Amino acid sequence: MSNALVLGMGGVGSVIGQKLHEYSCFERIYLADIDPTFARHLHGKTVDSRFQVATLNAMDTPKIAAFLTEHQIAVTLNACTWQANHSVLEACAQAGSHYLDMAADIYSPPGVKKPTKNSYEAEIEKFDARFREKNIAGILCMGCDPGAVNVFARWAIDRLDTAESIRVMDADNAEVRGYRFAVLFSPETLFEELGAMPYYVKDGRVMSGKPLEAETEWFRFPPPLGLMKTYAVAHEEGVSLGLHPPFVEKGVRYSVFKYTLSDKVISIAKSLALLDLDSWKKVKVDGVEVAPVRVACANLPKPASLGSNIDGYSCVGTEVRGTKDGKRVEYFVYTMDSHRETFERYGYSLTVVQTGIPPALAARLLVEGSIKERGVMMPESLDPEALMSNFAKEGLKIFVEKREVVELKE
């Protein structure tokens, strides 16, 4: 049996902890945060708890490395914001622990200077060789999107002879009762993404466009969502899938990530961008340094508290177009569920459940030996079969639509 550490005990961290506790392969699950309130809550409500609660700062690399070594942590799940990625990756590299996270910094093309270097390609460049030397895996962006959708892409492309395009689509018709405005996941992340320049791959090259204007498209989602307008948004998988060498070798020339967004969200996002309030770069206000995006979102409700007030459906999936045996084929692999029904099952919102299940499952498969890849990688580098065969068992409903074009003969 192995020990696991969950860092960051918000909604997603709580779902991860809850799922890990269902797995007999883990002897102890450590729940850690700079504020362990939610960790204590999960520990207290769990029957025959194998949880242990710790107070840790994810930016304190030496302390985390010492903790991993002392408690013989086999796998570390980083459910903090992307700012902590390098710190936790460094600790895992030192201590020899497998690593998973759910997001990276917004993609930055080569030559563009940024104040931080936590983008997925920078993390691979810095840590891949060290993880391989320790015979451990660092799986980046292993939430839902990115994460499960990358696995969907790999699963579909493995079934095609050639592939030409990958579209990751995220649709939601949720309504939150009792609030003038609410966001279903980290509002800071949402507004940072919407205000950032969207990057995507076209004709084999990384392209960019204007936020909330580039690559807009109407897409027909499964009922009850139906036809909805989608917007290209800065997301890791919108670039990583189009640049993944095995996919390029099969012919992929286009990849993109797209959201459906309400008029209200678009209006607020554009206003925050206009006022430069969607930035993490700190400014001084009345002698205190603060990140503008934190101030803009300070009074919004916590996503983890919204579950019982959300109605509607979410669909997150990957469309892959290509050929098989000379025929044009399209796959749309997706997960879809009801916000209300998910909250009644888990006690958490659908968005955080969708994000928390894939990394928890990947952690189990790592310690059981079903995931054999080593080094630091994005999820499309993993053999998808073990993950795809287990997603539905773990509560992430999976659906596959397949369309073939057949010529009628006389």
pLDDT tens digits for range 60-79: 999 999 999 999 999 999 99
- Beta-bridged to residue 219, according to DSSP, are 228
- Residue 371 and residue 268 in one domain: no
User: Is position 93 within any domain?
Assistant: yes
CATH of the domain at 306: 3.30.360.10
Task: Report residue 47 as tokens.
Answer: 């029957």
Q: Are residues 235 and 381 in the same domain?
A: no
To the nearest 10°, the Cα dihedral for 227, 178, 348, 46? -170
Same domain, 119 and 258: no
Q: Do residues 84 and 28 both lie within one domain? A: yes
DSSP assignment string, 203-221: TTEEEE--TTTTT-EEEEE
| 369 backbone φψ class: left, alpha, beta (φ>0; ψ -120 to 50) | left
Residues 191 and 231 in one domain: yes
Residues 316, 374, single domain; the answer is no
* Beta-bridge partner residues of 147: 143
**Mean pLDDT (whole number) for 176-192:** 86
SS3 124: helix
Q: Is 410 within a domain?
A: no
Query: Contact 20/363 with Cβ under 8 angstroms?
Result: yes
209 plus 78 within the same structural domain: no
Q: What distance in Å separates the CA atoms of residue 129 and residue 334, rounded to the nearest whole number?
A: 33
CATH code where residue 36 lies: 3.40.50.720
pLDDT tens digits along 293-320: 898 898 888 776 787 889 999 999 999 9
Q: Are residues 175 and 73 in the same domain?
A: no
Same domain, 196 and 286: yes
Question: Which residues span the domain enclosing 116?
Answer: 2-144+353-387
Could you tell me the end-to-end alpha-carbon distance of the chain, in angstroms, rounded to an integer?
63
For residues 275 and 353, what is the distance between their CA atoms, to the nearest angstrom?
Answer: 33
Q: Does the pTM exceed 0.75? A: yes
Taking alpha carbons only, the member of 15, 1, 2, 9 closest to residue 360 is: 15
| Same domain, yes or no: 303 and 383 | no
Let me know whether 242 and 255 are in one domain: yes
- Give the number of other Cβ atoms within 10 Å of residue 27's Cβ: 12
Could you identify the residue written with the tokens 């095609």? 160
Quote the number of domains for the chain.
Answer: 2
| pLDDT tens by residue, 78-127 | 999 888 999 999 999 999 999 999 999 876 666 555 544 568 998 999 99
Helices (H), 27-180: 37-45, 61-70, 85-95, 120-133, 148-157
Q: pLDDT for 316-336, tens place per residue? A: 999 999 999 999 999 999 999
**pLDDT tens, position by position, 156-175:** 999 999 999 999 999 999 99
Whole-angstrom CA distances from 390 to 136, 300, 364, 371 are 22, 35, 11, 13
Q: Which of 25-39, 149-163, 222-236, 262-276 has the lowest mean pLDDT?
A: 262-276
Residues 176 and 291 in one domain: yes
